[in-house]
Amino acid sequence: MFKKDLRRLVFIIALVSVAVVALLVDTFDVGIGSVSFERGDEDGPLGLELGLDLQGGVQLIYEAEDENVTKSQMEGVKDKIERRTNAFGVTEPSIQLLGSNRILIQLPGVEDVEEAKRLIGQTAQLEFKERICADQGDPQCTNFQDQDIGLTGALLTRAYASTHHATGQPIVNLEFNGEGARIFGETTNRIAGTNNRTAIFLDGEEIVAPVANQAILGGQAFIQGPDFTFDRVRTISIQLEGGRLDTPIVVIQEQNVDATLGEDALDKSLVAGLIGFGLVAMFMVLYYRIPGITAVFSLAIYIVLVLLVVKLVPVTLTLAGIAGFILSIGVAVDANILISERTKEELRTGRALLGAIETGYSRAWPAILNSNVATMITCVILFWFGSRFGASAVTGFSITLFIGVATSMFTAVVVSHTLLRLVASTPLSRFTGMFTPVPGQVITAGAGRRSQAQRERN
């Protein structure tokens, strides 16, 4: 059993070492099988991503003026906003749909709010152009010239993803109105059988540039490709829908956070976290003695592992998220307290130290598991609520609390258990009073048996 604990200790040390290195290095790109962890140089401490309330920036909530707007149209508007905010140079913008007709936009680091609103509020420009290849023998058409043909999103009546009726391959369907059908038919008639193409642009960015096998005169066409997947054709159709329709959106809520206030909030949050950890550590050591010391080491490892998960996922750290993280420290301590109390009770019944530790862990585990699972279910509900109604503070709180609770089960059951067993295997095990907070009440194994026998005689 001692060798098993040593192997666990080596694993814990290796895990913590990797976590510390990953936290200290701001930029890294590590691949493990098919999973890739790539992080850039973020603005936050330890390379963590900071949310709007800590980094400063602006939060906008837009609402569609048309009450009968469809989900596909809103997804098209969302895609348009994502393209424009990325072109605007915003670091890690957060854009999500709220309900059926609202969009939440968070732009960290943005100072010129009016310029950002003008950029977002522009109407999407969808254009079809005739691409003339200089070298007809070049299948990639690397040397070309695009010509305007007067075909825009206003002449496109519908774009949607489906599958080819014969091959089952994913395709993008296009439907034009009368004028659009005429222009599209003339264009495809000119380029049919050549390497010339119909290039489609959204806000000046090319979406796709297919060739035409034949003239398409009916106003209905589809686009297919050897590398098309269901996800890609859906994305293309959403982009076309976003450029086809002019879906008016208006700002219904605006919140501006100054970068100085965000930095001050971050500094105060870090101080609060350090004070909270210090007070918890002091209580555990003074009251639970050796189990308290192992719990403090376990909590330190817990903090490192939570920060590692937050960085790798990555989770955008907000003020509410930090509050959830600090609260999760209390949850992690709760598991150690349950284990220490059960171990103390077993020692008082006369069990040997290692046996008391094992029995204490096995009896405390069901309570730890059930309470943590209940907390995690609550976190899932809070996350759904925050995502549904645009309450980013609730979402950040629920994510960090969920990560903290899940990590606390690992550190309490594996880390604390291993450290306490290793300490119990040293000469310190002779000082049984150091493992229970109430001195003078620990009964030795022999005395326990004599007391039990005396009770049976009576």
In three state form, how does the secondary structure of the chain look? Answer: CHHHHHHHHHHHHHHHHHHHHHHHCCCEEEEECCEEEEECCCCCHHHCCECHHHHCEEEEEEEECCCCCCHHHHHHHHHHHHHHHHHHCCCCCEEEEECCCEEEEEEECCCCHHHHHHHHHCCCCEEEEEEEECCCCCCCCCCEEEEEEEEEHHHEEEEEEEECCCCCCEEEEEEECHHHHHHHHHHHHHHCCCCCEEEEEECCEEEECCECCCCCCCCEEEECCCCCCHHHHHHHHHHHHHHHCCCCEEEEEEEEECHHHHHHHHHHHHHHHHHHHHHHHHHHHHHHCHHHHHHHHHHHHHHHHHHHHHHHCCCCECHHHHHHHHHHHHHHHHHHHHHHHHHHHHHHCCCCHHHHHHHHHHHHHHHHHHHHHHHHHHHHHHHHHHHHHCCHHHHHHHHHHHHHHHHHHHHHHHHHHHHHHHHHCCHHHHCHHHHCCCCCCCCCHHHHHHHHHHHHHC
Of residues 367 and 249, the one with the higher pLDDT is 367
34 close to 219: Cβ distance less than 8 angstroms: no
Give the whole-angstrom CA distance, residue 303 versus residue 328.
10
Average pLDDT over the chain reads 81
pLDDT exceeds cutoff 60 at 439:
no
Of residues 126 and 391, the one with the higher pLDDT is 126
Per-residue pLDDT band at 89 (split at 50, 70, 90): low
pLDDT-above-90 percentage for the chain: 20
Of residues 38 and 20, the one with the higher pLDDT is 20
Give the whole-angstrom CA distance, residue 156 versus residue 242.
11
Q: What's the average model confidence in pLDDT over 352-372?
A: 87
For domain 57-123, give its CATH number from 3.50.50.60, 3.40.640.10, 1.20.950.20, 3.30.70.3400.
3.30.70.3400
Q: What's the average model confidence in pLDDT over 249-253?
A: 82
> According to CATH, what is the number of the domain 126-244?
3.30.1360.200
Per-residue pLDDT band at 34 (split at 50, 70, 90): low
Of residues 437 and 54, the one with the higher pLDDT is 54
pLDDT exceeds cutoff 90 at 190:
yes
Phi and psi, residue 402, nearest 5°: -60, -45
Lowest mean pLDDT among 119-123, 154-158, 374-378: 119-123
Per-residue pLDDT band at 447 (split at 50, 70, 90): very low
Q: What's the average model confidence in pLDDT over 291-299?
A: 89
pLDDT exceeds cutoff 70 at 40:
no
Per-residue pLDDT band at 455 (split at 50, 70, 90): very low
Domain with CATH 3.30.1360.200 in the chain: 126-244
Of residues 146 and 340, the one with the higher pLDDT is 146
pLDDT exceeds cutoff 90 at 326:
no
- pTM, whole model, 2 decimals? 0.62
Q: According to the model, what pLDDT value does residue 61 have?
A: 86
Q: What's the average model confidence in pLDDT over 124-133?
A: 88
Per-residue pLDDT band at 31 (split at 50, 70, 90): low
Domain with CATH 3.30.70.3400 in the chain: 57-123
197 close to 133: Cβ distance less than 8 angstroms: yes
Of residues 202 and 178, the one with the higher pLDDT is 178
pLDDT exceeds cutoff 80 at 230:
yes
Q: According to the model, what pLDDT value does residue 88 have?
A: 54
Domain with CATH 1.20.1640.10 in the chain: 2-47+258-452
Q: To which CATH superfamily is domain 2-47+258-452 assigned?
A: Multidrug efflux transporter AcrB transmembrane domain (1.20.1640.10)
